[in-house]
Chain A
Amino acid sequence: MREKQTLTVDVAIVGGGIIGTAVARELSKYDVSILLVEKEAEVGWGTTKANSGIVHAGFHEEPGTLKAKYCFPGNQMYPKLCEELDVCFRRNGILMVARNQEEWDIVQKYYQRGKDRGVPVELLSKEEALALEPALSSDILGALHAPEGGSVMPFELAAALMENALQNGAQLLTNSPVVAAQVEGERKVIETAEHRIEAKVVINAAGLFADDLAQMFGDDYFTIKPRKGEEYLFDLDTKDMVTRTIFPVPTKVSKGILVIPTAEGNLMMGPTGDNIEEKEDLATTRDGFARILEGAKSLVPGINPRKIIAQFAGVRAASDRGDFIVELSPNVPGLIHLAGMESPGLTAAPAIAVDAVKLVEEAGLKLTPKEDFEPRRKPMVRFRSLSHEERDRLIKENPAYGRIICRCESVTEGEIIDAVQRGARTLDGIKFRARAGAGRCQGGFCQPLVMAIIARELGIPLEEVTKRGLGSEPVMYHAKELLTGGEGQ
């Protein structure tokens, strides 16, 4: 057996979801060595990828919780963050709709909660709400409007945060599940199949597996209770149906079934909130679909399920506390837990990252701000949003932007090459970063072309190109291989 390579760093972050990547970027503002360890082929692939993408306004959360503490400040950080990282962010606003008197009373409670926190909120009559969103059900009594609620592409944000952290000196290991962890004197050691990582501080941002990682360190004072949410995505031509994210009043376990205009414009409906046993149960269900459709139609009756182009499920990494866990381990010095990140974890992530830096200092690391921190990543080219003249100029500079690969979303070869250069390694990575394959044909036409570009750019054979990491190769054999003594015998 090959000996594991030892890496020594100041801070090791386990988990490249929205929390891990936000912390990596925030820490990269300081003169400290950082290594992020991710089990999947790319960052942002766990809970983050399937997030609804809502940047919550901050009126939902129970007073006194960490969710309440971080949500509104996180929301307020989004415009600058997304501007710096060139990530799509829309402040499209949020409506919480009351369908009867009982719900109207609840809506007023949230209105007051928002007011108390300084969250911009207003109460709308039925007429005012319908004037803003004509597709809303006419059976409503009124609504709470929070204009600073927003929408972001969570995967894009995680990828951008990581990219910017890497620009500023952080390191990244992908395809590296942590298999063991222990304390050795002053150091914390985590092991992957190929590496032994020695760190002064370990940040547990392992999402669904945060309790498993804690246990490897002998720390078992919290558990993760996986809760699944299914989402159904509509064709881009539903774009103008609804502008604001539409909420019902919350249920006991979740914010309910929503109608969500994504940052890219597609409408989405979901999520369910079902407690499950298995942390990686990402199956969508017939029953989940039925419940979501019923819920979404009660808000926006005109929703047409024939326009659905994709569905997926994600699993929330809720903790047994029912709140975020943002703290130094009481048992293991130098171990920081950032766990239990259910909604509004995405919104809170930038604010949590700021506090994580403070926790790193509390753990004993001295942090000096870097003078040469670069907050911006290289700007993205989004061919579909350019004018005809801008497109023409771009193609003259680089002809790869004149070759459309994904016809549904007008994604060019240039954008796909760029995505690979920024770290995409898989078909899903290309889909989430560049949108090739995210449209109505779901890659039916462009998949072979995108695979060929990935293979060429990475210098690997086509059959080694994966959908989302080892074991998910779309094509398994050469033609005729099964006939000539290959695998098919």
Chain B
Amino acid sequence: MKQLSVDVAVIGGGPAGLAAALSAKAEGAQKVMIIERNHELGGILQQCIHHGFGLHRFKAELTGPEYAQRFINELDDTDIETLLETMVLEITPERKIYAVNSEQGMMEISAKAIVLAMGCRERTRGALQIPGSRPAGVFSAGTAQRFVNIEGYMPGKRAVILGSGDIGLIMARRFTLEGAKVEAVVEVLPYAAGLTRNVVQCLEDFDIPLYLKSTVIHIHGKDRVEAVTIAEVDDAWNPIPGTERVIECDTLLLSVGLVPENELSSHAGVKLDPVTNGAYVNEHLMTTIPGIFACGNVLHVHDLVDNVSKEAERAGKYAGRYAMGTLQKPEKWVKVVAGDNVRYVVPHEISLTEPVEFFLRVQRPQDDVIVDVGGVRTVRERSVRPSEMLNIKLTPEQLQNFTGDTFVIQVKDRKEAEQSA
């Protein structure tokens, strides 16, 4: 078995892995390697041929492949090594990576630091337990996207989409532009799960109906999907009898959530947060296993790729420092806690001595709020929604004012907060 050793090994060559590798290199790490299972870098961006990427980072409306290419071009100017069509099978807590490809066979790669950047997978019909038969024609939205945009095939011509996640909304438009009819987008929540701009640009602009507080309760068809039954749901998501409606279709797309792909991480002993399904990390984005870092959608599912790149750059920077032995350990870690109307916050621990950048998501939509960040800063927001991540930065000066044991971040109604103040 081939033996290799590197300073920083980045697992996954999607947007997170690319940014992390570049940043580790820029930080001074000598030997940086990206291990990618696909035959090209860029990850899921390569099938996202719609535009809207990079508005924050590049102040330009790029397609997915264009966004990825900017990083790939940068990478070409470095000596970062990339192993393509290579699958990581195992990571050990001692930071040994077992990977395989058809040319080199099995490889044992010893890394001083590892950055986990494997991304996420789509939730499936099986996970949702949608009743009915099991015909062909049920796809996760991302799989359908790959068929259309990469392979050049249309799954069907008459679709229902369950879930209003961003990929589902994008695929509603894609299917329509490809000449198929999208009969409905069905969402169990009382609001769309995806970004507002996608609801407008992908559904409203094409007159595709969005049914809220509804779900698919039965799939019909023996060999191929023939129809689905949808129904309205109550607050506990139980179908309301009498509201059932059969919609004929040949395809059902599922856009019902993404799950970070942390099987490798778990096997290595990395502790996971049951809310994000990603690793517990400190402000260096280091997991509970020393020298193993995480970023991007494997850490928590992001809204915009721009935010993935930003987070991955931090992970790469600290991984680079760890590999070089220059990452300082703080005197103590303070736990970060998700308070009222906050579903989760990343990172989970902060040192109070370095600048920190939080990503968080709310539980439910709320208008006119202030976000209380550990009592040391407040941020006013006109509206917060679960689909959009909040990004809050704190300086060491602001953090100095913190008193207490746990650093609570909470969302408060602005008027109530001002009255009680």
Give the B-binding residues of A (Cβ under 8 A).
232-233, 237, 280, 282-286, 289, 305-306, 308-312, 388-389, 391-392, 395-396, 399-404, 407-408, 410, 413, 440-445, 447-448, 452, 462-463, 466-483, 486-488
Give B96-137 interface residues, CB cut-off 8 Å to A: 98, 100-106, 108, 121-122, 124-127, 129, 131-137
B401: interface (CB < 8 Å):
no
Kindly state the separation between the CA atoms of A410 and B89 in the bound complex, as whole angstroms.
8
For B127, give its contact among A308, A400, A402 (CB under 8 Å): A308
A478 to B108, Cβ gap below 8 A?
Answer: no
A403 to B101, Cβ gap below 8 A?
Answer: yes
B196-204, B218-226, B293-301: which lies at the A interface?
B218-226
B263 to A237, Cβ gap below 8 A?
Answer: yes
Given contacts A442-B126, A462-B151, contact A283 B133 (CB under 8 A): yes
A407 to B153, Cβ gap below 8 A?
Answer: no
Q: Give the residues in chain A near B217, CB-CB below 8 Å.
A: 286
Q: Give the residues in chain A near B367, CB-CB below 8 Å.
A: none
B389: interface (CB < 8 Å):
no
Q: Ordered nearest first, which 3 A-B pairs have the shortest CB separation?
A: A482-B179, A402-B102, A471-B223
A407 to B37, Cβ gap below 8 A?
Answer: yes
For A312, give its contact among B104, B106, B134, B155 (CB under 8 Å): B134
Residue of B nearest to A410 (CB): B89
19 more contacts with CB within 8 A, not counting A407-B87, A474-B147, A480-B179, are A237-B263, A284-B131, A289-B131, A388-B1, A388-B106, A404-B89, A440-B121, A441-B121, A441-B124, A442-B124, A442-B125, A443-B143, A444-B124, A447-B143, A452-B151, A475-B154, A477-B153, A477-B156, A481-B179
B98 to A388, Cβ gap below 8 A?
Answer: yes
Q: Give the residues in chain B near A305, CB-CB below 8 Å.
A: 129
16 sampled A-B residue pairs with Cβ under 8 A:
A283-B132, A285-B131, A391-B105, A392-B1, A395-B106, A400-B102, A441-B121, A442-B125, A444-B124, A444-B143, A471-B223, A472-B136, A474-B136, A480-B178, A482-B157, A482-B179
Q: Label chain B's interface by main secondary structure.
A: mixed
B126 to A308, Cβ gap below 8 A?
Answer: yes
Kindly state the separation between the CA atoms of A237 and B122 in the bound complex, as whole angstroms.
18
Q: Give the residues in chain A near B142, CB-CB below 8 Å.
A: 444
Kindly state the separation between the CA atoms of A12 and B37 in the bound complex, as whole angstroms.
48
Given contacts A395-B102, A402-B102, A462-B151, contact A444 B178 (CB under 8 A): no
Q: Give the residues in chain B near A463, CB-CB below 8 Å.
A: 153
B121 to A402, Cβ gap below 8 A?
Answer: no
Give B1-22 interface residues, CB cut-off 8 Å to A: 1
Kindly state the separation between the CA atoms of A471 and B223 in the bound complex, as whole angstroms.
6
Q: Give the residues in chain B near A479, CB-CB below 8 Å.
A: 148, 152-154, 178
Q: Give the residues in chain B near A311, CB-CB below 8 Å.
A: 126, 129
Q: Give the residues in chain A near B153, CB-CB below 8 Å.
A: 462-463, 475, 477-479
B103 to A399, Cβ gap below 8 A?
Answer: yes
Interface centre among B122, B132, B146, B154 (most CB of A within 10 A): B154
Q: Give the residues in chain B near A396, CB-CB below 8 Å.
A: 105
B140: interface (CB < 8 Å):
yes
Given contacts A389-B1, A468-B223, A473-B224, contact A286 B131 (CB under 8 A): yes
CB of B137 to closest CB in A, whole Å? 7
Kindly state the separation between the CA atoms of A305 and B142 in the bound complex, as whole angstroms.
24
Give B174-225 interface residues, CB cut-off 8 Å to A: 178-180, 217-219, 222-224
